[in-house]
């Protein structure tokens, strides 16, 4: 691979992971990249490392440019192991003068690697570091998405090394957003946000406002995963604004799991009612859809309608697991309802409603439950509930 320059003397030296398909429970069907960046200046500086399994890739890319032992500084923007896993080996090879990290990054590195003898230099928001011709400005971004996270902004070139913000799990031989289909990049960006950053939306909103107030002349955004934004920065920034404020489309999701097709029939009837109102509707069977793909749809949907039969006085396992997963990601600005069939005890709708309320999803229906196979009349009730939900979605998204 030829050396890839973001600007004169600033290189991508990361690794492409074509094979990874699971990232702590999040399906990565297009693989991922572990981005690292090298600046050649009076002080040669490496920004982040890579997952330990891909250390040889990083070293090969660095050696195409410079002897790794000539690196003076190492900046750790984020300590999660897909970015710092090869840090101990690199510290032995490079022996840098200084290792820069945030205050929380220092604690995290010690907790991970237990090396108090490393040459730590702790930096805070607003700290600037001269490399010679270039200057780094550090910006702490706590809980986006770990306590240690920070950005590094190269002032002279307008390049923002954004850690895990604005990234995508997306393996490609191309490095920039204008070299690949934008639709694919945005699809993976949405999935990344929905499954990793969604619960931090209030902090993302504040960060976007704070960065705007800094008047940084950002010409390029280089995240730690996926392609580098150099042409469509306005697109990803606007998407993050929408996602962090909970802006929704006229869209509803009917998410269900069924045992003997009774709850499935109710789901289809509810979806039919929604479609009659002109609301975009996705009918999602949990047996054949991955939770991380469903969360990507949740990101922009206004209504979340969930269904399950009752099993052992509770819910079917897939719907119970999905609700737990969604609760952890804290969806915002949603309305919801529930439904389900039962044999004798019939707790599922009550449990579904409670789960939605725990997520602060506004219940707009009491829900529909029915014993065994739904009759024509019950299916008509389901369709009518779908119509009412659709009317609410249209009213709430056009106000």
- The residues carrying an active-site annotation are 24, 78, 80, 82, 145, 164, 192, 225
3-state SS of the chain: helix, strand, coil percent to 5? Answer: 40, 25, 40
Q: Name, in order, each residue with C-beta under 8 angstroms of 225's C-beta and a sequence gap of 6 or more.
A: 32, 33, 34, 35, 164, 167, 168, 169, 170, 192
Q: What does DSSP assign to residue 147?
A: T
Q: How far apart are CA 190 and CA 236, in angstroms?
A: 9
Q: What is the DSSP string of 75-101?
A: E-S--SHHHHTTHHHHHHHH--SEEEE
Nearest CA to 81 out of 62, 109, 118 is that of 109
Q: How far apart are CA 269 and CA 386, in angstroms?
A: 8
Q: How far is CA 286 from CA 27, 205, 308, 319, in A?
A: 15, 31, 10, 7
Count of helices and strands (H, E) across the chain: 12, 24
**What b-and-e string marks burial along 287-318, b requiring 16 or more CB atoms within 10 Å of the CB?**
eeeebbebbbbbbbbbbbbbbbbbbeeebbeb
Q: Name, in order, each residue with C-beta under 8 angstroms of 147's C-beta and a sequence gap of 6 or more.
A: 104, 108
Q: How far apart are CA 241 and CA 89, in angstroms?
A: 38
Structure tokens at 128: 């600037």
Structure tokens at 204: 């993302």
Structure tokens at 378: 């019950």
Q: What is the DSSP string of 321-347?
A: HHHHHHHHH---S-EEEEEEEESSS--
């Amino acid at each position: 691979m030829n050396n890839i320059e973001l600007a004169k003397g600033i290189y991508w030296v990361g690794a492409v992971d074509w094979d990874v398909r699971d990232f702590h429970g999040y399906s990565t069907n297009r693989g991922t990249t572990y981005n690292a960046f090298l600046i050649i200046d009076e002080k040669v500086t490496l920004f982040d490392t890579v997952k330990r399994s891909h250390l040889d890739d990083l070293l090969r890319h660095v050696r195409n440019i410079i002897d790794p032992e000539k690196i003076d500084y190492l900046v750790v923007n984020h300590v999660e192991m897909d970015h710092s896993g090869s840090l101990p080996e690199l510290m032995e090879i490079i022996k840098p003068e200084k290792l820069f990290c945030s205050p929380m990054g220092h604690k995290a590195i010690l907790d991970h690697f237990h090396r108090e003898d490393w040459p730590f230099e702790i930096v805070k928001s607003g700290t600037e570091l001269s490399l010679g011709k270039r200057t780094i400005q550090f910006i702490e971004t706590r809980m986006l998405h770990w306590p240690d996270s920070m950005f590094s902004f190269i002032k002279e070139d307008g390049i923002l090394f954004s850690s895990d913000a604005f990234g995508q799990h997306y393996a490609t031989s191309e490095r920039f957003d204008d070299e690949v289909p934008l639709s694919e990049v945005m699809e993976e960006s949405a999935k990344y946000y929905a499954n990793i950053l969604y619960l931090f939306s209030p902090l993302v909103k504040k960060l976007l406002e704070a960065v705007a107030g800094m008047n940084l002349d950002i010409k390029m955004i280089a995240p730690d995963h996926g392609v580098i934004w150099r042409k469509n920065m306005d697109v990803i920034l606007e998407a993050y604004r929408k996602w962090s404020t909970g802006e929704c489309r006229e869209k509803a999701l009917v998410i269900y799991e069924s045992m003997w097709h009774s709850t499935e029939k109710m789901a289809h009837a509810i979806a039919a009612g929604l479609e009659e109102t002109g609301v975009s509707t996705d009918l999602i069977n949990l047996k054949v859809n991955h939770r991380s793909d469903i969360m990507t749809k949740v990101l922009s949907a206004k209504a979340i309608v969930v269904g399950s039969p009752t099993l052992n006085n509770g819910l079917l396992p897939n719907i119970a697991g999905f609700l737990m997963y969604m609760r952890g990601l804290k969806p915002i600005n949603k309305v919801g309802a529930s439904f389900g069939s039962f044999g004798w005890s019939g707790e599922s709708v009550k449990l579904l409603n409670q789960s939605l309320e725990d997520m602060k999803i506004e219940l707009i229906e009491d829900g529909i439950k029915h014993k065994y196979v739904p009759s024509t009349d019950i299916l008509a009730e389901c369709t009518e509930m779908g119509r009412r939900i659709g009317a609410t979605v249209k009213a709430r998204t056009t106000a």
